[in-house]
Structures are given as structure tokens and as C-alpha cells.
Amino acid sequence: MTRRTTIHDVAAAAGVSVATVSKAVNGRYGVSPETVGRVLDAVKALGYESSLVASSMRSRRTGVIGVLVADIEPFSAEILKGVAGALSDTGYDLLAYTGARRDGEGWERRSLSRLSGTLIDAAIIVTPTVVNVSSDVPIVAIDPHTGRADVPTVESDSFTGAQQAVHYLVQLGHRRIGFIAGRPDLRSAVARASGYRAGLAAAGIPFDPALVGDGRYEHDVAREAAHAMLALPDPPTAVFAANDLSALSIVEVAVERGLRVPDDLSVVGFDDVPEAARAQPALTTVRQPMKRLGAEAVRIVLALLAGEELPATHIELPTRLVARGTTAPPRER
Amino acid sequence: MTRRTTIHDVAAAAGVSVATVSKAVNGRYGVSPETVGRVLDAVKALGYESSLVASSMRSRRTGVIGVLVADIEPFSAEILKGVAGALSDTGYDLLAYTGARRDGEGWERRSLSRLSGTLIDAAIIVTPTVVNVSSDVPIVAIDPHTGRADVPTVESDSFTGAQQAVHYLVQLGHRRIGFIAGRPDLRSAVARASGYRAGLAAAGIPFDPALVGDGRYEHDVAREAAHAMLALPDPPTAVFAANDLSALSIVEVAVERGLRVPDDLSVVGFDDVPEAARAQPALTTVRQPMKRLGAEAVRIVLALLAGEELPATHIELPTRLVARGTTAPPRER
DNA sequence: CTGAAAGCGCTAACAC
DNA sequence: GTGTTAGCGCTTTCAG
């Protein structure tokens, strides 16, 4: 618990003014090599490191890219890995921020206001709840909100992904296929619902509203929906969930109800977070390239920072079904 | 790209001074309820959110806990999940920071200097390279450096974990067991090396220096060590690696050399990052409770923040062997 | 109860 | 080449 070394300490030690220290440290012109040396010596001796906060208040550039997430869970963690990977060797620091109030809408607006214009040069927002963010720094959204996006966005092809899931289940012989929906405010979740219906239609299976549950990407909500669906007089033989978290909840509920997975119930998730493979049995799921989502966002943000005026870009990456242990043909009746 | 709304804008809108706005927003005494109402209305109307940076320069407390990591990879990502989980409902925001210069020593000193005393109220540092950090905010280290630690630390029982790994391999019938070491500056890596030797000794197997390779937790370094070890005239039938990343590298190399895992070579890792289960075949490994490491660190940091003067605490959590697909009895000769 | 003024650590004009 | 000055947006005495 020592007081930070400030630029004043360095100035005093080197016998120059704080302005000179600033110039020397930041390599500005107009300082004699001799003075620079003296200052740098003092910097080293004192272990001085400029305060990010203070310097960001005066200068426009901080060299920090912010990633705003609602929470650090498997999905956002993968994105962060992708962002970190893409940012290494670019000279940019990475700052990930999660507000204490993870609830409700508009967390990203709050976080953004608190950080932008000052601390970070640009922001990557993951699964934002509002579309209408205004900011004084470049922004790109990953897995964005429904509605018109006025910022560049990066997401996966959720529609096709959902179709892949349903198609796979149909191929296995399933006809009664349930769906646990995601967060209705996210474009990706809506696309997965459409993909589910398109998949059914392609197989000539009539859509049954009773087989659609509300999951909202929340463990408890998904569990409740699963319970309700499995208690149906004519329950589904397979369920497709809009994300892995929900899919894992379904498996949990199925087991609690005495069903064997995949013998009595097949389950397919979406995302392929690392945890999906670890589950027992390992989860069949639609993989979306989460790290690449992060990396693509970095690419755009860097371009924006470099002054390239991209049109409101929209990037969509492909998905792929990964068959594991939670899917099998339906039991003979 | 709009200019941020500042406290001045609010003051102007509400017809009061910036000082009054500050008091009203922060609930300080000495403002009439009527004025408070007017200010809060303006705040809402303008969507004002105070700048974290500016306020942190004047006031001591920011309500933000910083987590400093060298990079966001599977291990640190798990820690982050644990920290985020433990921090929810505490009212603290979470800020994870990775410097651009991930190389070399002292990255945490630099990050800490840049953030502490200003932006963050406390710091959790993951796998620091230096032990001698001084700071004006409470600090706790996860998986710390070797040497005397003057800050509270949280880590897993690496010694016992390594013993478990070796014991398991011995039980399977292995006698020639190699070891790929970790970062020699980390206490945990050193303990895993000791545990390896203790495990051999307990089984009456003589220690063979030729069966120890340098991995340093880096993919390429571990690969090289694996190549060298497997090229030995009398190669090991099993290898224990100081972390999962290295273990996965070994599997990779083994396959490249035409060996089948686990038939020709058994491999055991350490950590049990989610990726370990996803590998093909799934990795046998020693699980350390990474999320709990993060949660324990939060607990300590919060206690420190609450003014409880803990003695230089040291927490050690238990490990557990998770047998998966990369281990089998050695082939008959 | 409210506002003017000082200053957190730093950088950018502008003087000297 | 170097120092002085003026803030960045905010909180906090301290007068009024």
C-alpha cells in the first residue's frame, strides 16, 4: 500500500518540469537527448508508469479497446478469447468490463457512457439489449439486438444453424421436435426460432405451438419450460435449444424426470461452448465460431480506428452441427 | 459518434451548478428534495452517466474490481468466470485488463500502476511474474510467483495434484513416466515438478532427468520438448504435463509421430480447462477448481476492502484426477 | 441549501 | 529546449 509514483515525483527527481517529463516519456519533439536520458533514468528508478486514467482525460488516444459484456459466462468468455487473440501484437490493450447491474436493459449504454470518450478508443459490445447507442468512439456489436442496427455487427448464421439442428433430428427419425427459445430481443434468437420452423416445414412436419418453450437463455427459465414440455401428454422425442446453456438445462430436467438421454430424449444445443463437450453425455450442438466472432469485431474496430469509413457493415459467419452424445434415433413405440 | 453528455450539460439543463448536480447524483446531504428531483429529471432526459474516469480521479472509491491477466486463455478465462460470479450482487463492477505487451516480466506491475490508485478499488492478479508489487489498493494474487509473497494468495494444491497424476499412471502399470514442466517462475509449476518426483519415489521408480522436458506453458516450447522426449531410444510410455495446454501439445506431437494415444502413449494434463474435455480423445487431467480460485480471491479482496486486516492469507484448494480418454495401461512389449 | 473554486495526474498550447 | 498555463470531468471543501 504505497502511494503511486506520479509524474511530479519523476519531475522532481530529474530536476525538470512535469511537462518535460510528459514530453520525454511520450517521445515528443523538443527535448534534448540529455534531458530525455535523465528523465528516463528517473522513470526507471522510481518505477513510474503513467496513469491511464489521467492521461486519458487529456489525450484522445489511450490505446485501449473495450469489450462490454453483460456477464462473463461461457459464451462471452469465448468471445473475449477471440478478441484477445486478435488484439495481441496490435499494440492495443484489452479492457473487458461488466457492470454490477447485469439485469435489465441498457447496461451497455451505462457502461459505454462511463468508459467511452475517455478510457477506451473503441468498444465491442456483446449481446447488447439496446440498438440505439450513441457514443464518441467507434463501436461494433456482436450478436446484436433486433431492429435496425446503426453500428457494424458481427454474428453467426443462426437461421441456417437452427435448420441444421432440426434437419439432423429429422434424419435420425424424430417427428415431434420441441424448441426452447432464447432471448427474444436478440436477432440471433429470433433467427433460431425461424430456422426451427423452416426446418420443420422442410420436413413436412406441422408446427405445434405446444412444443415451443420460453428459455430466454436463463437456466431457471429454461428448466421450467423443459418441465412443462416434458409433462405434455404427447411429449417431444427431441428438443432443440437456442443455446447450450438451455440445452444442458433440458438434459438436467430430463434426467430428473427419469428420462434417459439420448435414448428417451434427444437434445441439441447451439453455440458449442467448451462446456458442451464436457457435459455427461457430451452435448450435440450447433457450433458457432465464437472466437472468430471476436476476431472479426476486432478487425472492424481497427479499420474504423484507422479512419476507414466502412458502411454499416454486417458480418455473418457460418455454423456447423457437431454430433455428440445427446442425440439418437427415437425409441420404437 | 456524439459527444458524451457531461455533468455540465445536466447542470445547464437543470439550471443549477455542476456541484449541485454532483451532490444530487451521489445522494449527498444538503440539497433540497425539489432540486434533487429537477436534477434527476435532467439526468434521465439527457441519459447522463458520470464518467468513471473523471470521478475516479477525484474520489477514492470507484466500485470497480480489477482483474489483471497476462492474456485471456482458457485458464484465465475460467478464473474470470469465477470472479464475475462471485462479484455479482456485490455492487462491484468488474474490469479485466490485458496489456498489449504480454511478453516478459512485470506486465502486472505496469498494468497495476496504470490502473490503481485511480480506476480500480482493488486488484486480483493472475499468475504474476513478480512478487514485489506495491500498490495503493488491496491486491490478491492467484497462482503466484515463487518466493515470498507479501500479498494474500490463492492457488491449488499442485503438489498433491501432481502426485495424483503419477499415482494414477503407476496404477495403470506405467514405469517410464515423463514430465513436461511449466513456467519455472510460478510456485504452482515448481510444486507440480516436486509432486511428480514424489510420485515416482512413492512408487519406487528412479528419477530419470532425460524424462523431464521444458514446456513453460507455451505451445511451441512444449511441442519441442515432447518431440525430444519421444525420440529417446527408450521413450516414456506415459507423460504428465504441468498444464492442459502442454498436454494437448504432447498428444498432437505423438499423433504426428505415428503414435496412438492412449494405446502407445498415455498423457495426463493439469487444470481441466473446458477445452480438455473437448479434445479428441478427451484429455485425462488433474482438475483444479479454477472458478473457485477466482471466487476465493474475490472473497479476500472484499474483506480487505471492508477494512478487515487479514494476515497475509494463503489459500490452497484441492485438486482431483479426472480420468478420460488419453490414458490406458502400457502396451505389452 | 447552493455555487465558486481548487485540484486529482496528465497533456497540449503557448511563452520564455 | 524548457517551463508555464490551462484545462479534461468530476468531487469536495468552503463561502455565501
Put the strands of the sheet holding A64-68 in their side by side order: A314-317, A153-156, A139-142, A122-126, A64-68, A93-98, B93-98, B64-68, B122-126, B139-142, B153-156, B314-317
User: DSSP readout, B112-170?
Assistant: HHHHBTTTBSEEEEES-S-S----SS-EEEES-BSS--SS-EEEE-HHHHHHHHHHHHH
Residue B296 CA to residue B302 CA, distance in Å, equals 10
Residue A261 CA to residue A263 CA, distance in Å, equals 5
The answer to whether A77 contacts B73, with C-beta atoms less than 8 Å apart, is no
Instruction: Please report residues of B whose CB lies closer than 8 A to that of A81.
Output: 72-74, 77
Distance in Å from D3's C1' to B124's CA comes to 40
- Choose from B62, B69, B72 for mutation: most chain A CBs within 10 A: B72
Residue B55 CA to residue B61 CA, distance in Å, equals 9
- So what's the pLDDT on residue A316? 96
pLDDT digits 0-9 by tens, B214-240: 999 999 999 999 999 999 999 999 999
Instruction: Please report residues of B whose CB lies closer than 8 A to that of A115.
Output: 52-53
Mean pLDDT of A284-310: 95
Distance in Å from C5's C1' to A107's CA comes to 35
Look at phi and psi of residue B178 and say left if phi exceeds 0, alpha if psi is from -120 to 50, else beta.
beta
Do residues B236 and B226 lie in contact, with contact meaning Cβ atoms separated by under 8 Å?
Answer: no
Please give the model's pTM, rounded to 2 decimal places: 0.94
Look at phi and psi of residue A137 and say left if phi exceeds 0, alpha if psi is from -120 to 50, else beta.
beta
Residue A292 CA to residue A21 CA, distance in Å, equals 41
CA A40 to each of CA A54, A78, A142: distance values in angstroms, whole numbers, following the listed order: 20, 39, 42
Residue type, A300: I
The three grid cell numbers given for residue B87, joined into one nine-digit string: 462479484
Instruction: Please report residues of A whose CB lies closer than 8 A to that of B277.
Output: 274, 277-278, 282
CA nearest neighbour of B182 among B250, B271, B246, B235: B246
Q: What stretches of A51-157 show up as alpha helix (H) in DSSP?
A: 52-58, 74-87, 107-115
Q: Beta carbon of B46 within 7 Å of strand D?
A: no
Examine the pLDDT at B59 and tell me if it is beyond 70.
yes
In degrees and rounded to multiples of 5, residue A95 shows phi and psi of -130, 115
> Residues of B from 20 to 39 whose C-beta is within 7 A of strand D: which are they?
21-23, 25-26, 28
The answer to whether A109 contacts B1, with C-beta atoms less than 8 Å apart, is no
Helix, strand or coil, per DSSP, at residue B267? strand
For residue A205, the distance in angstroms to the closest alpha carbon of chain B comes to 33
Examine the pLDDT at B333 and tell me if it is beyond 60.
no
Strand partners, A116: A120
- So what's the pLDDT on residue A1? 54
DSSP letter assigned to residue A117:
T
- So what's the pLDDT on residue A35? 92
pLDDT digits 0-9 by tens, A156-191: 999 999 999 999 999 999 999 999 999 999 999 999
Do residues A253 and A223 lie in contact, with contact meaning Cβ atoms separated by under 8 Å?
Answer: yes
